[in-house]
Amino acid sequence: MKFGHTTIRNMNAPTLPTHDKALPLGKESAYPDRYDASLLYPISRSLGRNTIGVSAGRLPFIGWDLWRGYELSWLNLKGLPRTAILKAWVPATSPTIIESKSFKLYLNSLNNERFESVAQLQDRITADLQNAAQSSIKIEVITPDAFVNEPISEPARQSTCLDDQDIVIDDYEPNADLLAIASDNVVIESVFSRLLKSNCPVTGQPDWGSVHIEYRGRAIDHAALLRYIVSFRQHQGFHEQCVEQMFCDIAARCQPEQLSIYARYTRRGGMDINPWRATPGTPEPSLLRSAQQ
């Protein structure tokens, strides 16, 4: 939480290494007036995975984190500003994630940089992000002429919303024991909730989102699943870590044959983060952008 210019860190948040004193999140930062790739700040995925028993060498899931940056701007060679939307897919196999505020500051460092073409800009961003994430990254720069292809869309009608159930909830820290099986009948089901909320582990500020779960296996109890999703409400964790914990908890407790979890967090500081984790062989989800984002 923030009071004035002071940031108070939640004492229940995961402890970051001492070198994270350089972490820009939770601090006042001057916007850069020139290009600076060193602004990108990597954080090891192991910080979150160690707490849920996931080893980098044996990931139980596939997936990626889709970042969308809405404040991408640069200059052409004549000094005329250009603008676009950035999409960046960081694979779940990357050793690091990129801290969100550092990502924003990096994009703003491009504001006064001149590029001959969109392709040159894209190559520069790709190289910088790959260096920070220590992994190959897919990049798309969406220019205004293609904005029409970036519509807002909500879940398909065949997907069931969990949010209107008349149930009592009083657990606000993740607990896999909240999950339950409704029946031993094997089903293929798509459900979603717009009630996902977690908190930044550094600042304690709320992160809001929706979560889409598709699975094949024994029918999962809907009331239990909603209680579990809502239990993240006071949890301290980065977006990517929350989704990986959800995947591991549901996989262990409900043992579906196939599982896909796609969270779409709302925009903060001109960026939204959309982690997807799934059992190997699962088709990738549609890249929907919700009205909330």
Give the model's pLDDT for residue 23: 57
Would residue 171 show up in a list of annotated catalytic residues for this protein?
no
- Among 200, 242, 248, 254, the active-site one is 200
CATH architecture of 160-278: 2-Layer Sandwich (3.30)
Give the model's pLDDT for residue 17: 47
CATH fold of 29-149, please? GTP Cyclohydrolase I, domain 2 (3.30.1130)
CA angle 227, 232, 235 (to 5 degrees): 150
Query: In terms of DSSP H, where are the helices of 109-235?
Result: 118-133, 222-230
Give average pLDDT by consecutive 10-residue segment, the chain, 293 residues.
29 45 58 93 94 90 98 98 98 96 96 98 98 97 96 87 96 95 97 96 93 98 98 96 98 98 95 97 89 90
Closest CA to 14 of 240, 195, 264: 240
Give the model's pLDDT for residue 28: 59
Give the model's pLDDT for residue 3: 26
Would residue 200 show up in a list of annotated catalytic residues for this protein?
yes
- What tokens does 72 get? 């991408």
Alpha-carbon span 87 to 92, nearest angstrom? 16
- Among 65, 207, 249, 272, the active-site one is 207
Give the model's pLDDT for residue 280: 97
Task: Tell me where in the chain the CATH 3.30.1130.10 domain(s) lie.
Answer: 29-149, 160-278
Neighbours of 188 (CB within 10 A): 11
C-alpha distances (whole Å) from 117 to each of 33, 107, 198 are 21, 17, 39
